[in-house]
Amino acid sequence: MIRKSFILYSLLLTIGFGIMAQSTKKPAAKTVIQQEMLPAKEVTTVTPHQAAKPKLVVGIVIDQMRWDYLYRFNQLYSANGFKRLLSEGFTCENTFIPYTPTYTAPGHTCIYTGSVPAIHGIVGNNWYDRSLNKVVYCTDDSTVATVGNNSDAGKMSPQNMWATTITDELRLSNNFKSKVIGIALKDRGSILPAGHSANAAYWYDDKGGKWISSTYYMPDIPAWVKDFNAKDVVATYMSKDWNTLLPIDKYDLSTPDNEPYETSILGETTVTFPHKLSATGASKYSSFRTTPFANTFTFDFAKQAIENEKLGSNTVTDFLTISISSTDYIGHSFGPNSIEIEDTYLRLDKDIADFLQWLDQQLGKGNYLTFLTADHGVAHVPAFLAEHKIPGGTFSDADFTKEINQTIETKFGIKNIVQSIQNYQVYLNLGEIEKQGKDKAAIVKSVIDLLKQKPYIVNVFETDKIMQATLAEPQKKMMTNGYNPKRSGDVQFTFKPGYFDGGTKGTTHGLWNPYDAHIPLLFFGWKVQPGKTNRETYMTDISATVAAMLQIQMPSGCVGKVITEVTK
């Protein structure tokens, strides 16, 4: 005991004298880095250190989820779904989409690139390609083939997206050791988030109700996917009817069940509960998309992907992107005030609670990072608004096309001047105007004057002259961010709130208005402290924030800012 005390005493004396001696010496010359980075007369020793990373990042996008759904149905939600994300996670209450059109493809692209259509190139779900003289789909790729089925639904890839994604940057950060997989019923909801360098992306094929992919990713789908498909889970779901989760009189936040402006599920003849899914017959695999059970199906497939691909057991962080698509199909058909949408979100809440609990058990609480957001919101059904004396209405792009073509043919002798109307923009046949030697400026002015006559249209302008257009904020910024000279149309039109291109039933989205552009954004899990911010944040900020948390580069077209409240 005495010997140990003596040794300890001697050691302390040695350290003490060492410190005194050091204080009398001249400071060592600073390294170049120290000279450049540190204030004068200050030296800091930094020990290199690799910060701990989450085992898995899970991005969840709820297709067509309005921000207010977080709170509108809150009293009926369980304790462990949306409420858990709100109480244990960080919520950005005023997150907006900073561009138009607010559609699925640009939404998913923006979330994962942190960029806008002007830069990343995905200007809509569809656009007119002048070089091909046809309308193209956002993920079309004729150079690849379907794997997992013999349909053409797998001829898809991310080739039309010009920028990298946060998932690409994660793979680039560690020489492609991270594993990245995308999952969604919709091809665009899987392919665009997973990025260019993904290990796999899977989407749903109506032909046989199977998960498929593309030769862009793999020569054939893995055995575990084949096993999952072989169970024909969809047929089991569709053999039962869709009844409300709660007694139907509990749905007092919704309109009555039988509304004339609702659209029935394919194969059904009514719009009321119970929905006779068992009677949809040959259309059952397509009709499945418009049921809440397809959301459960998606989460179940995601669990299988995590288990079989061993996501989260890597030496580096892995990334799984999940898009929940059925909320969009149901919302389009029945509208945001329907019992169908309310029931769908109550069921989705349970799916989320189950998935989070499963991740806790599979990876351990706090070992995974999740964000939940939406690609866009949705407008109220105009007929519903009319019932309550609120302005709104619909119009037809097809009618516009016919009217413009007739006018220009009469005045200038050019037939079929409109090549397409997409994303509230008119694509004109500029080549034919030049070929016939006609006055382009006069033709464009005639198109603008014609559209301005519509009582619900507020403004019309040439897209390449948007900076000269008199537009209110945030319209101008959003439309500028959505304009891409390679892919956008020639003339853009705007209209009164509550109006959109559509029919007399159902609803849609795509505009600058808050009902389409105000989305939820919650971060949860690894290093996320509970809290919220009411300051304005943007969809573009998501990938910037995740990049900061993972200490990797932002995507190549990212214009977003880090949400510092999340990273503290």
**178: which DSSP letter?**
S
Q: Cα angle at 266 between 237 and 255, to 5 degrees?
A: 90
Tell me what percent of the chain is helix, strand and coil, each rounded to the nearest 5: 40, 15, 45
Of 104, 164, 244, 540, which is the active-site residue? 104
563: left (phi over 0), alpha (psi -120 to 50) or beta: beta
- 165 is annotated as an active-site residue: no
Residues present in the chain in total: 568
Helix (H) or strand (E) holding 564: helix 564-567
Q: Omega before 336 cis (within 30°)?
A: no
Name residue, tokens 């540190």: 38
* Alpha-carbon span 377 to 110, nearest angstrom: 15
Is residue 239 exposed (0-12), middle (13-18) or buried (19+ Cβ within 10 Å)? exposed
* Alpha-carbon span 306 to 341, nearest angstrom: 29
* Alpha-carbon span 269 to 247, nearest angstrom: 23
Catalytic residues: 104
